[in-house]
Amino acid sequence: MRRLTHFIDGMYQEGTSTRAANVYNPATGEIASTVTLGTKADLDVAVTSAAKAFLEWKETSLSKRSQVMFAFRDLLERRVKDVAKLITNEHGKVLSDAEGEVRRGLEVVEFACGVPHLLKGDMSDSVSRSIDTYSIRQPLGVVAGITPFNFPAMVPMWMFPIAIACGNTFVLKPSEKDPSASLMLAEMMIDAGLPRGVLNVVHGDKEIVDGILESKEIKAVSFVGSTAIARYIYSQAAAHGKRVQALGGAKNHMVVAKDADLNFAADAAVSAAYGSAGERCMAISVVVVDEAVADDFVELVAKKTRQLRVGPGTQESSEMGPLVTMEHRDRVASYIETASTQGARVVIDGRESIDMHTKGFFLGPSLVDAVSIDMSVYRDEIFGPVLSIVRVKGFDEAVELVNTNSYANGAALFTRSGALARKFKREIDAGMVGINVPIPVPVAYYSFGGNKDSLFGGSHMYGTDGVSFFTRLKAVTERWPEPNVGDVQGRDLNFPGTR
């Protein structure tokens, strides 16, 4: 059985731990490999390597840093399918979807290639007599990323390309459920010319995470995962004086107005609810539909859902793969049962369309109608292929319902009305809004993040927010007096003015 080990200082290192976790192939249910669950001593080795590498990397010219990113981009472009294969084998999502995730990560790498431009400061000539002021952005030092299972390549690439291009060195703690993609990316960064120690991958669970939070050397923590852990990361990192951004869970709503193109909206709902088996932080898990068109809409969604082909991610005909673990699959399935007992109408029961006794972690897509906001199928983040339908009396009720939810990652509206769309995007409480777009993940030159329980901390991820997060801004006020032109003043104890 292959044991996946840490990648520290440019090489694989076993570390000191005797603990390991199983990594499954969700399509077969078999254990594909094991991954070491590191100790704080292992983390120390990585942090020491990163701290040493920082001394040189922060002095490396912007163009050299940018060249490494360009080289990484080219290597990754050539190996998109290889990374996608690793993702499918450990996560379960279908290959085309895994490729899509790598490409969205690649966009962030491309953005990071422009780091010489991104780090340009501002400059004001003559803010006072013979005095100029300008700003510079400097790296923080060693920074860390802690990432979830659902995007094993894209989410690490939301973080490390920008952090590293900005001159920091990085310790990545990927999800222990699908750690291989991170290792391949780290190897490729070395092949692209990144010095050893600038990017390290340390595997583990709470022990490593707590080590990261407590480390005096680590200056910032970027986290993506469930809300409960995000809250913990945010409070602990702040308590240890670190800069922190912690993105949490989601319950994304799609509002269907009565004037919407119902067929178009139904296709969007099915794609966004069941793609990647619903294991996306931007998946649509609730459709809020105007009761005037609800019967027609639900009928369309049900018809399209029944047509979905579920199977192993490596099989070209599959549109939806298995869930990540058996435990998670069973937890998701339990919501279908609970929804029924709590009075919802189960239109499609995913347990019936699938042989639940196969070894793979499959669950068919499920559709639950007549859901109300007190039901657990509505309240909890399920993170699986279960779509809830909530019926409302008109647009205002829909907006109020969405805004009452504790999560606020993404929200979408389907309508033909520009006026309604404008009202929606202004009034809705969500970090990312789609108008006739169900999964509005911003492109790399914007930034990603939600509100309320979906994000703790003031900074969104990647884009210009990412550059701000991974750099410290310094303002310099500078004077080179020329005595002969009267620039030198005598003693003056007053607070300096600018006039």
- Residues marked active site are found at 281
Measured from the CB atom, the residue of 175 and 471 that comes closer to ligand NAD is 175
Count of CA atoms in the C-beta half-sphere (13 A) of 144: 31
Yes or no: say if 280 and 256 are a contact pair by the CB < 8 Å rule.
no
Helix (H, G, I), strand (E, B) or coil at 126: strand
The values of phi and psi at residue 449, to 5°, are 175, 155
* Alpha-carbon distances of 333 from 39, 325, 326, 362, 390, rounded to whole Å: 34, 12, 10, 10, 20
Q: Report the DSSP pairing between strands 142-146 and 169-173.
A: parallel
- The DSSP output letter for 442 is P
Any contact of residue 454 with ligand NAD (CB under 6 A)? yes
CA distance 299 to 378: 20
Any contact of residue 26 with ligand NAD (CB under 6 A)? no
Measured from the CB atom, the residue of 113 and 247 that comes closer to ligand NAD is 247
Helix (H, G, I), strand (E, B) or coil at 310: strand
Report the residue number whose CB is nearest to ligand NAD.
225
CA distance 14 to 277: 34
Residue 314 one-letter amino acid: T
Any contact of residue 97 with ligand NAD (CB under 6 A)? no
At closest approach, how far in Å is the CB of 91 from ligand NAD?
Answer: 10
* Interaction mask 224-263, ligand NAD, x per CB under 6 A: xxx--x-----------------xxxx-------------
Binding range to ligand NAD, per CB under 6 A, among 218-226, 315-323, 333-341, 393-401? 218-226
Sequence-separated (6 or more) residues with CB below 8 Å from residue 44 = 211
* Interaction mask 277-306, ligand NAD, x per CB under 6 A: ----x-------------------------
Any contact of residue 175 with ligand NAD (CB under 6 A)? yes
At closest approach, how far in Å is the CB of 159 from ligand NAD?
Answer: 11
Residues 191-210 that bind ligand NAD (CB under 6 A): 205-206, 209
By CB under 6 A, name the one of 176, 178, 290, 453 that touches ligand NAD: 176
Total residues binding ligand NAD (CB under 6 A) = 27
Residues 140-159 that bind ligand NAD (CB under 6 A): 146-151, 155
CA distance 396 to 428: 11
At closest approach, how far in Å is the CB of 213 from ligand NAD?
Answer: 8
Please choose, from the candidates 362, 350, 284, 290, the residue with its C-alpha nearest in 3D space to the C-alpha of residue 321.
362
Sequence-separated (6 or more) residues with CB below 8 Å from residue 104 = 154, 441, 444
For residue 38, the Cα-to-chain-centroid distance in whole angstroms is 23
Any contact of residue 47 with ligand NAD (CB under 6 A)? no
Any contact of residue 171 with ligand NAD (CB under 6 A)? no
By CB under 6 A, name the one of 297, 362, 383, 470 that touches ligand NAD: 383
CA distance 93 to 151: 10
Measured from the CB atom, the residue of 157 and 266 that comes closer to ligand NAD is 157
Measured from the CB atom, the residue of 17 and 415 that comes closer to ligand NAD is 17
Yes or no: say if 230 and 409 are a contact pair by the CB < 8 Å rule.
no
Any contact of residue 167 with ligand NAD (CB under 6 A)? no
Any contact of residue 183 with ligand NAD (CB under 6 A)? no
Measured from the CB atom, the residue of 67 and 459 that comes closer to ligand NAD is 459
Measured from the CB atom, the residue of 78 and 206 that comes closer to ligand NAD is 206
At closest approach, how far in Å is the CB of 206 from ligand NAD?
Answer: 4
* Alpha-carbon distances of 168 from 3, 162, 181, 214, rounded to whole Å: 29, 9, 22, 19
Measured from the CB atom, the residue of 112 and 159 that comes closer to ligand NAD is 159
Yes or no: say if 147 and 159 are a contact pair by the CB < 8 Å rule.
yes
At closest approach, how far in Å is the CB of 68 from ligand NAD?
Answer: 26
Q: Give the pair of three-digit tokens for residue 423.
A: 């009202």
User: Where does this chain bind ligand NAD (CB under 6 A)?
Assistant: 146-151, 155, 173, 175-176, 205-206, 209, 224-226, 229, 247-250, 281, 381, 383, 409, 450, 454
